[in-house]
Structure 1
Amino acid sequence: MTTYVVTIPGTLLAERTEASTETLQRALRPADPRGTRLGEEEHLEMLTFYSGSSAFSIRLEVEADDTESAERQARETVGAALRTAGYSQDEAPLGDAVITGITE
């Protein structure tokens, strides 16, 4: 197994509250990339909202056999976390997953 850092962009089309953001961060915490060697060196933030917009990116650490599996697992994790925070798929569409780091 290989450790991948996967970045997934998205846009919130519903209202973002402090409570929903905290819930989202808690739901994503097990996949926080700051626990990896790459994440520590690069000071990666798990959840970034871009100022003045509803656009965001989420960086996750996943263990997988290949990049396709890593991207799929990351999308599933992000989708589940967004649902936990109260956002439907229509309220938080996601862009393409991108592998932004690999450690073995």
Structure 2
Amino acid sequence: MTTFVITVPGTFISDITDSARSALERKLASQHTDVSKSEGLNLLTLNEDGTFSVRLEVDAPDRYEAELDATRLVSAALKEAGITEADAPLGPPAVTGINSDL
């Protein structure tokens, strides 16, 4: 298994409340571990134009599975935070870091 740092971009169609942001960060916190913290990466970055990016770690056998898992995790966290897919469409995920024992 390899640990991937995946960045999932998106856009909030309407303003996100502080409570929704906090809920989203809580839902994703378990995916923000040693690699991303040691690199100084923020879990959630919000831009003034409503765009955002989520950086999280995923253990997966390959890049493809890591990207799928990351997208599923972000989608589920958004939903649990009360943010619908229509209110926060996601863009294509990208691998932004890899940590392997190989």
What range is the shorter-chain TM-score in? over 0.9
Aligned residues: 100
- Aligned equivalents of 1:44, 1:95: Cα separation in 2: 19
- Aligned equivalents of 2:30, 2:70: Cα separation in 1: 12
Match of 1:27 in 2: 27
Match of 1:13 in 2: 13
- Identity across matched positions, percent: 40
Match of 1:36 in 2: 34
Match of 2:43 in 1: 46
| TM-score between both structures, scaled by the size of structure 1 | 0.91
- Unaligned ranges ≥5, structure 2: none
Question: Which amino acid counterpart does residue 69 of structure 1 have in structure 2?
Answer: E
- Unaligned ranges ≥5, structure 1: none
Out of 59, 62, 66, the residue aligned to residue 66 of structure 1 is: 62
Question: Which amino acid counterpart does residue 3 of structure 2 have in structure 1?
Answer: T
User: After TM superposition, where is structure 1 displaced by more than 4 Å over at least 4 residues in a row?
Assistant: none
| TM-score between both structures, scaled by the size of structure 2 | 0.93
